[in-house]
Structures are given as structure tokens and as C-alpha cells.
Structure 1
Amino acid sequence: MPTWCPARRRSWCLARSEHADAILAWMQQSPFSRGWVPEAGQPQDVLTGWMRDPDTSCWVVEDDGVPVAYGTIWDDPKEGEAELAHLVVDPARRGRGHGRALVLALAQIAARPGRRVVLRIDPHNDRALAVYVSCHFAILSDAEQEQFNAQQPQLWLARQPAGQASSTPTR
């Protein structure tokens, strides 16, 4: 399981319904995550649905007991992959390492022998790309990008094995 810097009092837990309002507010404040949840109706139902999905685990990073980041792991055993998804940090707490801590923790939780850990981002989200590359993710090959992007124009990355250098981000 992930370890944290004890001086920061950072911890993580499975997301709970009481986290929903904060997580939804963070998503709605970012142009990169705003589209994940509907503006009308019951956006909490979307988040609750993710939490109930048996192939999804939803995680919250807390700093001194306060939720600061959220992300999901989508398990796809048929493909031998796990996808990190819906990664978002409280806008008021960005730039403090919470996003990087979230990515490293989720990658560690998702890692299993023979399983590839992937994620996708908006191709214009340079800040997130820099974080993911610093966490040992590399942009997939052009052929894999074409295969993965048959349905949606995203930039796909995969976690590199320990000790293997990440590629320089190029698009």
C-alpha cells in the first residue's frame, strides 16, 4: 500500500458519499473535468454510480483529515489493464504535491503482475502531463494512440516499469 510523508499527515481512503459535494465542486471548477458530471439533474448520482461499480475503486487523498484530491481506478482484467481516471485536486490546494501523491498512490494500488496501468488526459492539459511523466508514465506509441482514440480524442499514457526512464513528452 502507498506510503506518505508523515510530516504532511497525508492519508488516503476509499471515497464516501460525504465526499461527493466537495469532489463535484472541484470537477466543475476545471475545464478539464467539468464534462465528467452533468450540470442538471443529480450530479451526485454520477459519483455514487462510480462508487458502486464493482470494477471501479474511488479514492480520496486527505491532508490532515481534509479531502484534497480524488481519483478512480477502473479495473479491466480482460484487457490486463487498470485505468486511472477522474483525477482531480481541490483547486485551492493545487501546487502542493497532492496530485502527484494521488497518482503515485493509485498507480501503486493498481499495479499487479502482468497488468498495465494507463491513463488518458486532454491533450491540452500540460500541467497534468508534467505530473504524470514525473510519476513514470509515458505517452503511448502513435499506433496505440490511434487504437485507443477510436472513440475519443485523448492523450494516452502508460506507467513504465520501475527503473525505466519515462519518455519526454511529445505530441
Structure 2
Amino acid sequence: MDLLPFSPAHAAHAATVAGWATSATELALWCGAREFPLRPRAVIDWHGDGDVRPHLLFDGGEPVGYGELWLDADEDEVELARIIVAPELRGRSIGRTLVAGLLARALETGHADVFLRVHPDNGAALRCYLGAGFVPVEAQLADAWNASQPVAYTWLRHSPATPAG
């Protein structure tokens, strides 16, 4: 499998990625969007922020996963975000492969910390992230970060002591 930056050449895959959320509930758990189905243009629009680094995971030329790196130079951190796997391929460790690839890219940025957040009702994603070497942040830190969030996310930090993948 190959993890590649989502480039203008991949724009046709925006519809594929947008379609991977199979219900309004799944869409909210994935990216917080409320309008189902997600418009392909929304996926492209996410890339407008210069601090967002979108990626596609390919298997044999077909996209099988999507995720982003959100860089924050002021805080010296990277957040892994909007991670999703094609629905027909879930449960086959592709999510863990995708997260490991995104984590490797995040560590290459040189930022001190790598985080991600998961909706509290997304147990499958939480298991994937824990299996990929992430650990929960301290409760006080999670509470502070959740103060301005629409839900009380589970916040995770990459733990260098835990192997990725």
C-alpha cells in the first residue's frame, strides 16, 4: 500500500472519499459534518488551509483510506484528523496501516507532539488508534481541550514508547 499526498491529480477521488461515510451518524463521527451525504467539494475545500496535509492510502491504484495532518507550528504539534477507510475494507487492519503511515509523516515534520481526537461513540476508531500506539492524554488536558468542542472527544497522544502499526 502507498500513502500519497492528496494532490490536484487526485481530485476525482474526492467523491469516493465523500461516499465512504455510509450514514449521517457515521459522517458526524468521522468529520463532524451534519449534511448527509457529504458533498465531494467539501473534501476538496478541507485542503484550502495551508496547515492541512491530506493523504490518500492506495492499494493497487485504488484509494482505500484517507486522512489528514493538521500542523500547528505555534503549539509545535501535529494532529491526525478525518481518518476514514473504505467501508467494504474495514476490519482488515487498513485503518492501522493508514494511521501508521500518517504518524510517520507527522513525525517527519519535526513537531514535538502528535495528537488525535476521536468521537466518544466511535469505538472502532478508538481501538485502531490505541493499537497504533496512541494513549489517552491526561484528563485535565482533555477537559481543557474539550471546553470549546461540540462533544467531549477522547484525546490521544502518540507515545514513542509504543510501537506504531
TM-score by length of 1: 0.82
Matches within 5 A, 1:1-171: 10-15=1-6, 16-29=10-23, 30=26, 32-33=29-30, 35-36=32-33, 38-39=35-36, 43-111=39-107, 112-152=109-149, 153-161=152-160, 164-165=161-162
Measure, in 2, the Cα distance between the counterparts of 1:116 and 1:28.
32
Name the SS for the 1:79 alignment partner.
Answer: coil
The residue type equivalent to 1:104 in the other structure is A
Give 1:62 shift. Answer: 0.8
Measure, in 2, the Cα distance between the counterparts of 1:23 and 1:151.
28
Give 1:43 shift. Answer: 2.2
Root mean square deviation of aligned Cα: 2.0
**Structure 2 gaps, min length 5:** none
Name the SS for the 1:33 alignment partner.
Answer: helix
Measure, in 1, the Cα distance between the counterparts of 2:68 and 2:134.
17
Aligned length: 154
Give 1:115 shift. Answer: 1.8
What fraction of aligned residue pairs are identical, expressed as a percent?
A: 30
Is 2:17–2:40's contact at 8 Å kept on the other side of the alignment? no
Give 1:103 shift. Answer: 0.4
The residue type equivalent to 1:48 in the other structure is I
Which deviates more, 45-54 or 13-22? 45-54
